[in-house]
């Protein structure tokens, strides 16, 4: 629910039909890189990456990073945001750059490519997922070969029609020599 333009309560996430019936809006995730760079598909090694996820209706949200070393780590929910149930049309910041001490930081690795995947479901999927997938936040997942394999586990648990998922990928570029030299000098002076 939200306050509409006319000052009255309005439904969010579904449209009302003429006979009082409701039409369910498509279940979607809008996953975006929020960095201010022009090219959001490639980052220099060591660059902090900021993303956000917005879902079209209230749902359980789970996000995972696949780093350049092939590790898959759950980043949402986490210690600072422990609940998976989130409101419709609310941007969830990954990491939450508005708090002084975020639960995690996304930093582009040394070489290769990385990906971020978020999955939203109508019901809590962890009750139906294999135990090895129900890990604490910021813990490397064992036995998961890829984000696609993880997505397939979600589909098996809740059904493809009861979820939405989106994946963003980026390449990691070598750090610029001048920036790397400056970082080395600054590190030695400390």
pLDDT band at 187 (very low <50, low <70, confident <90, very high): very low
pLDDT at 186 exceeding the cut of 80 = no
Flag whether pLDDT at 13 surpasses 70.
Answer: no
Is it the case that residue 3 has pLDDT exceeding 90?
Answer: no
In this prediction, residue 33 carries a pLDDT of: 96
* Closest by Cα among 93, 89, 92 to 2: 89
Q: What is the pLDDT of residue 181?
A: 53
Give the per-residue pLDDT at 155: 96
pLDDT at residue 190 in the model: 37
User: pLDDT category, 7, cuts 50, 70, 90?
Assistant: confident
What is the predicted pLDDT for the residue at 188? 43
State the average pLDDT over residues 111-138. 94
The verdict on domain 26-173 having CATH code 2.60.40.2550 is: yes
**Rounded mean pLDDT of 74-78?**
95
Q: Note the pLDDT of residue 22.
A: 66
Rounded Cα gap, residues 119 and 157, in angstroms: 12
User: Mean pLDDT, to the nearest integer, of 92-111?
Assistant: 91
Look up the pTM and report it: 0.81
pLDDT at 189: 40
Better pLDDT: 32 or 24:
32
Q: Which sequence spans correspond to the domains of the chain?
A: 26-173
**What whole-number distance in Å separates Cα of residue 33 and Cα of residue 49?**
7
């Amino acid at each position: 629910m939200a306050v509409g333009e006319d000052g009255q309560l309005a439904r969010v996430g579904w449209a009302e039909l003429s006979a009082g019936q409701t039409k369910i809006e498509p279940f979607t995730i809008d996953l975006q890189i929020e960095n201010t760079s022009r090219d959001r598909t490639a980052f220099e090694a060591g660059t902090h990456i900021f993303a956000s996820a917005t879902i079209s209706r209230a749902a359980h949200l789970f996000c995972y990073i696949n780093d350049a070393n092939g590790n898959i780590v759950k980043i949402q929910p986490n210690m600072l945001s422990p609940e998976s149930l989130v409101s419709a049309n609310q941007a969830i910041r990954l990491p939450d750059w508005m708090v002084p001490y975020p639960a995690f930081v996304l930093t582009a690795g040394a070489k290769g490519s990385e990906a971020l995947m978020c999955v939203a479901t109508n019901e809590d999927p962890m009750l139906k997922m294999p135990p090895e997938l129900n890990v604490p936040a910021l813990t490397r997942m064992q036995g998961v070969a890829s984000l696609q394999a993880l997505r397939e586990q979600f589909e098996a648990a809740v059904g493809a029609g009861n979820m939405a998922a989106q994946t963003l990928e980026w390449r990691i570029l070598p750090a610029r020599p001048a920036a790397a030299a400056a970082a080395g000098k600054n590190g030695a002076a400390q």
